[in-house]
Amino acid sequence: MPQPWWRSAVFYQVYVRSFADSDDDGIGDLPGITSHLEHVRDLGADAIWITPFYPSPQKDHGYDVSDYFEVNPEYGTLDDFDGLLERAHELRLKVLVDIVPNHTSDQHDWFRAAVSAPDNSFRERYHFADPKPDGAPPNNWTSSFGGPAWSPEPAGKQWYLHLFAPEQPDLNWWNPAVPKEFERILEFWLDRSADGFRIDVAAALFKRRDLEDRPFLIDPITGLPKFDSDFAIVDQPQLHDVYRRWRQIANGYEPARVLVGEIFDPRRHAKYIVPDQLHMAFALIHQRWDAGLWRRSIENSRRALQGPGAGPTWTLANHDVVRPVTRLGGGSLGRCRARAALLLLLGLPGQVFLYQGEELGLEEADMPDSARQDPIFLRTEGRLKGRDGCRVPLPWRRGRPNAGFSNANPWLPMPAGWDQFAVEAQAGAGDSTLAHFRRALAARRRLWNRLPERVDWLHTPDGVLAYARGPLVVACNFLSRPARLRLQGRLEAASEPLVAEKTGILHLPPNSAAWLLRVARPRQADGREALTSA
Ligand code: GLC
């Protein structure tokens, strides 16, 4: 049976505010995306995921939606959305829309109605509760952005729940009007030809019904109190019925549409990634640069999803985490490691999500505190820097104002010299990060049909990982010194400029990876033979 298009696909995440600005207001927009889609096609991706572009007061940069059926005027119009889809489909790129079902904006009509009167029926669509007798919040849950998960309503006596910012009140999924509305929202975008959804905070929609305090435990090691992590606030079983219904809706289109859940913990994946619910969830590899930790993390994600219908969705970056180049050591060291990490993950069975700018080797950008806009920074009074550093607009052209992103100052400032990473500057340079990404994605596409699902880890010295997938051998040197490995069989380089000799000795520079093709099988192939320190 042919595989559905999304199996093994490479997705490219577009952060709409920072991708490309078509009208010179310093803010990215939908026409900007449309006119730069060739970049994604040339990179070799199969699909894009666009972060929320709905009307929003931008308290969490689009993840606070005030109207799910419109486009934020800053980003364009519904016609611009249709134009984007049309162009993407011409280029054979699929498009995923970001759906935000856990919370609305406090400026959404529903919430405005809810707080307009103590007996307004829309209150049942959110979580309102009385404070404790001493005036404390209704329970001790905390917001992911810092502080309590409850705020007092503006006028009135009750408090409302928000697992994120106070401007993002959580919806009450126990109220049937809420699931019903989201089915309408899904159909609205699918009818406009969207190819699927990335579902924001996908495991959280239903909150435990009793809204009980989260118990404290005494940590046996430190002796300090800590929250009981087994006390489930979210992940309620009723959510699975919602996703079964969403899957039916997705399957009602031809070809079937795709559902990607924002769920990172591999222990949760098996519950949601099943044939009648979601197709994918993220396997985010964020460990420090250590061969053992990476192998364990890869194996945890692989073990979580076994079977022919699903595989891990490898991810190194998104708009919420420090950029991998910076995480992995910064500068040219971080860039080398990020390139190696890409090769290591791209060879594995499963899907891959890239985040805009990863292909340019962008680092986390620094900026003055006065420029920071992330609610995490604002709500923690600067204790946490927040996520602005990975959201700085993309550099497109060298020597142009604002690196060709916009003629106006961008909404987040670019560091000096940002244009050296511009797409245009890297496109023609064979040793650039962009060229590396293009080569690697092209090699993956070329080889993919020949590769079995099965992965055999090879015996390697400490600090080096290698696996075989049929004829493909992927080796990655995590060490800061070169590694020499002996590999049996006749070899050819599959991606990078040649690093393997036909002699079977593989020279891996520090912090690098290679893809090799075995053109002849080794004499004995038991997975133990292949690599030894030479
Ligand atoms: C998700 C988004 C993040 C947002 C949060 C609340 O984790 O990726 O950017 O702040 O949900 O919607």
The per-residue pLDDT for range 334-392, each reduced to its tens digit, is 999 999 999 999 999 999 999 999 999 999 999 999 999 999 999 899 999 999 999 99
Nearest to 46 by CA among 87, 80, 8: 8
Q: Is the peptide bond before 255 cis (omega within 30 degrees of 0)?
A: yes
Contact 39, 426 (CB under 8 A): no
**Ligand 1 binding pocket mutation candidate from 164, 199, 390 (most atoms within 8 A of CB):** 164
How many CB atoms sit inside 10 A of residue 446's CB?
Answer: 11
Distance 51 CA to ligand 1 centre (A): 10
Structure tokens, 102: 């856990």
Residue nearest to ligand 1 atom 12, measured at CA: 63
Token digits of residue 220: 């046996």
Question: How would you class 369 by CB atoms within 10 Å of its CB: exposed for 0-12, middle for 13-18, buried for 19 or more?
Answer: exposed
Going by C-alpha positions, the residue among 154, 137, 144 that lies closest to residue 211 is 137
Contact assessment for residue 122 and residue 160, using Cβ atoms and an 8 Å cutoff: no
Tokens of 73: 């005027």
Asked about 262 being catalytic, the answer comes back as yes
Query: Which ligand 1 atom minimizes the distance to the CA of 103?
Result: 12
The alpha carbon of 391 and the centre of ligand 1 are apart by a number of angstroms equal to: 13
Mutate to test the pocket of ligand 1, among 14, 16, 18, 60 (most ligand atoms within 8 A of CB): 60
Give every residue of the chain whose pLDDT is below 70, as ranges: 1, 489-503, 520-534
Taking every pair of C-alpha atoms in the chain, what is the biggest distance, in angstroms? 80
Closest ligand 1 atom to residue 100 Cα is 12
CA-CA distance, 175 to 347, in Å (whole number)?
A: 44
Indicate which residue's Cα is closest to atom 2 of ligand 1.
Answer: 200
Span from the CA of 144 to the centroid of ligand 1 (angstroms): 9
Among 58, 59, 63, name the best residue to mutate to test ligand 1's pocket (greatest count of ligand atoms within 8 A of Cβ): 63
Measuring from atom 9 of ligand 1, which residue has the nearest CA? 320
Distance, CA of 171 to CA of 127 (rounded, Å)? 7
So what's the pLDDT on residue 533? 42
Choose among 461, 427, 430, 436: nearest CA to 513: 436
Half-sphere exposure of 357 (CA within 13 A, CB side): 30
Helices (H) and strands (E) counted in the chain, each on its own, are 14, 21
**CA 162 to ligand 1 center in whole angstroms:** 12
Ligand 1: centre distance to CA 511 (Å)? 32
Residue nearest to atom 4 of ligand 1 (CA): 63
Atom number in ligand 1 closest to CA 164: 6
Residue 4's contacts (CB-CB under 8 Å, 6 or more residues apart) are 255, 256, 258
Q: Which of 99, 201, 284, 374 to mutate to test the pocket of ligand 1 (most atoms within 8 A of CB)?
A: 201
Quickly tell me which residue has 């602005």 as its tokens.
388
pLDDT of 486:
83
Amino acid at 25: D
Output the residue whose Cα is nearest ligand 1's atom 7: 201
**DSSP structure string for 188-232:** HHHHTT--EEEETTTT-SSPPTT-PPPPEEE-TTT--EEE-TTS-
Kindly give the number of the ligand 1 atom that is closest to the alpha carbon of 102.
Answer: 12
- Rounded Cα distance between 265 and 301, Å, is 9
Catalytic residue among 21, 195, 200, 358: 200
- Cα 264 to averaged position of ligand 1 atoms, centre (Å): 13
Q: Do the beta carbons of residue 269 and residue 304 sit within 8 Å?
A: yes
Q: Which atom of ligand 1 is nearest to the CA of 318?
A: 8
Around ligand 1, the residues with Cβ closer than 6 Å are 60, 63, 100, 164, 200-201, 262, 319-320
Q: Residue 365 gets which letter from DSSP?
A: P
Distance CA 13, CA 10 (A): 10
What pLDDT is recorded for position 141? 96
Q: Rounded to the nearest whole angstrom, what is the distance from the C-alpha of residue 300 to the centroid of ligand 1?
A: 24
In DSSP terms, which residues pair with 313 in a beta bridge? Answer: 282, 351
Tokens of 451: 């590769």
8 A C-beta contact, residue 418 and residue 404: no
Q: Is position 200 annotated as part of the catalytic site?
A: yes
6 CA to middle of ligand 1, Å? 23
Q: What is the pLDDT of residue 283?
A: 98
Distance 200 CA to ligand 1 centre (A): 6
| Torsions phi, psi for 443 (to 5 deg) | -65, -40
User: Could you identify the atom of ligand 1 that is nearest to the CA of residue 145?
Assistant: 10
- Pair type for strands 483-486 and 505-508: antiparallel
Q: What is the pLDDT of residue 518?
A: 79
**pLDDT value, residue 309:** 81
Nearest CA to ligand 1 atom 3: 320
Q: Name the catalytic one among 262, 363, 374, 419.
A: 262
Buried b (16+ CB within 10 A) or exposed e, 139-150: bbbebebbebbb
Tell me the C-alpha to C-alpha distance, in Å, between residue 427 and each of 244, 297, 341, 395, 435. Answer: 44, 33, 21, 12, 7
Other CB atoms within 10 A of residue 112 CB: 15
Residue 520: which H helix or E strand, with range? Answer: strand 512-520
* pLDDT, position 196: 98
What sections of 406-517 are H helices per DSSP? 423-427, 433-447
Query: pTM of this prediction?
Result: 0.95
